[in-house]
Structure 1
Amino acid sequence: MIDLDRDGDIHVITLNNGPNMIEPSWQTRMLEVLDSVESHSEGNAALVLTGVGKFFSNGLNVEVVMGLKGQDMAKFGTNMTWIMRRLTMLPIPTVAAINGHAFAAGAFLALACDYRLIREDRGWICVSEVDVGVPISAPMMNLLKAKLPANTARDAVLSGKRYAADEAIACGFADGKASEANLGREAKKLASSLASKERRIFRSLKQQLNADVDAGFTEK
């Protein structure tokens, strides 16, 4: 479902369950993986988040999630917010290597990372909630508004626009592109270059940069 490997100082989280749709069991595994990353982030550590094949993540498994009731639904929402907060505030550099489609919550996973590289020849990134009829929570909206230019955020949210590589870069959704064969390598290269910065200062600056987003995650 979710694999964790390490290449030197670079942690690599690989989503490897087909469309990588998010449901309670997925959340449980992701929280375990993030625990491991955080507890082994000494030195010049960094993180790359990626998928396999044509999907980065296709978002929530709506059929499963909409079947949750009461405390199970509340727990799912809490865990989703916690996962996004932890990704956003990890004290190490994070790079999303968007290997394929990143829709809805999958797009937010990418946005939670510091940088995003996208496969140049296949895959869209899309905030599709307006089309599938799922609301965007206040913390997720704060994250999106912090990570995207205002016009891009407007179009992404209100139109559900699909962005391929070149337009994603032009609109600020992605920071670069690479071929399928080179995407992982380029993501690790970027992560490694960021990890070479002074660790204490990098962590402090990242906390400052994301302070408003972090506050949004913790508001009641």
Structure 2
Amino acid sequence: MLHIVKHEVATEIQLARPPVNALNLELLRALQNALSEAVQEGARGVVLSGAQGMFSAGVDVPALLRRDRAGVREFWREFFATCATLAQLPIPIVAAISGHSPAGGAVLSLFCDYRVMAQGPYRIGLNEVQVGLIAPDCIQMALRRVVGAYRAERLLVSGALIEAEQALAFGFVDELVAVDQVSTRALHWLNETLALPSHAMLGTRQIARADLTAAFADVDALPIDLFVEAFYHPQTQATLQALVERLKSKAK
């Protein structure tokens, strides 16, 4: 589910769950473990990447709908726990957004220090509203601190998926490069950051990310049960079931 590549001072964690790197319970747990191991093994930074053309399609909705209520809650707790792991990572992490990155994929990138995205007809965004989900405040906050309050509101309420050039203009991503150069450029940015005096860089980073760290300090204090209740709203369930049917039709 993951490919781990060791660079000189950094670890690259590549999502590797074909065909679209959809997030399920096993992938989320593997990602948390890989991030913790990178720190324990002395990596000074992390690159989080995906497949060329697809960073992550977000939550594996068909698999999630097959779970019972306890299983659904278990999944969403693990999703928020993954966000918490990223938020509290003591070393810089850069997202190499190598293609499309809707919903959960976009969320993971927001918890990184920097975002390099593939140039071209690739889309990114928190399209939860379009699939019947309510983005909780802890996730909205992650977007607000990247693009600003008003822009975040417009993107969230519409559930917009925006193309790479617009994402750059909005500040959703930090730079665009050719799709085959995304990981290389992400590693270059990371190496430049790691070349700074480490005590000053890490101390300043800790202060700058204190709001994000505090918001995810206690996963069980997050409104997981409210989110699960909203997930089972009849309109949400109908929208998600319709999405699954569309996915089945495309696969034929």
What is the TM-score when the length of structure 2 is the normalising length? 0.81
- Residue 37 (structure 1) aligns with: 38
1:93: how far off? 1.5
- Residue 177 (structure 1) aligns with: 176
Measured in 1, the distance between the counterparts of 2:27 and 2:12 equals 17
- Residue 92 (structure 2) aligns with: 93
| 1:28 paired to 2:29 | yes
Structure 1 residues 149 and 4: CA distance shift in structure 2, 3 A: same
RMSD: 1.6
The residue matched to 2:135 in structure 1 has which SS? Answer: coil
| 1:12 paired to 2:12 | yes
Identity percentage of aligned residues: 25
The residue matched to 1:13 in structure 2 has which SS? Answer: strand
- Residue 152 (structure 2) aligns with: 153
The residue matched to 1:97 in structure 2 has which SS? Answer: strand
- Residue 52 (structure 1) aligns with: 51
Measured in 2, the distance between the counterparts of 1:151 and 1:46 equals 32
CA deviation map 1:132-174 (0-9, x unaligned):
1122223212212222222321222011222222211110101
Extract unaligned runs of 5+ from structure 2: 222-252
- Residue 127 (structure 2) aligns with: 128
Contact 2:87–2:216 (8 Å) recurs in 1: no
Contact 1:96–1:187 (8 Å) recurs in 2: yes
Measured in 2, the distance between the counterparts of 1:58 and 1:70 equals 23
Measured in 1, the distance between the counterparts of 2:67 and 2:216 equals 22
The residue matched to 2:216 in structure 1 has which SS? Answer: helix
What is the TM-score when the length of structure 1 is the normalising length? 0.92
Measured in 2, the distance between the counterparts of 1:88 and 1:208 equals 13
Contact 1:152–1:172 (8 Å) recurs in 2: no
Q: Partner letter of residue 57 of structure 2?
A: N
Measured in 2, the distance between the counterparts of 1:56 and 1:97 equals 8
CA deviation map 1:101-147 (0-9, x unaligned):
10101001111110001111231111110101122223212212222
CA deviation map 1:168-212 (0-9, x unaligned):
111010111100222221111001001112223322222221222
The residue matched to 1:3 in structure 2 has which SS? Answer: strand
> Displaced runs of 4+ in structure 1, greater than 3 A?
none
Q: Partner letter of residue 16 of structure 2?
A: N
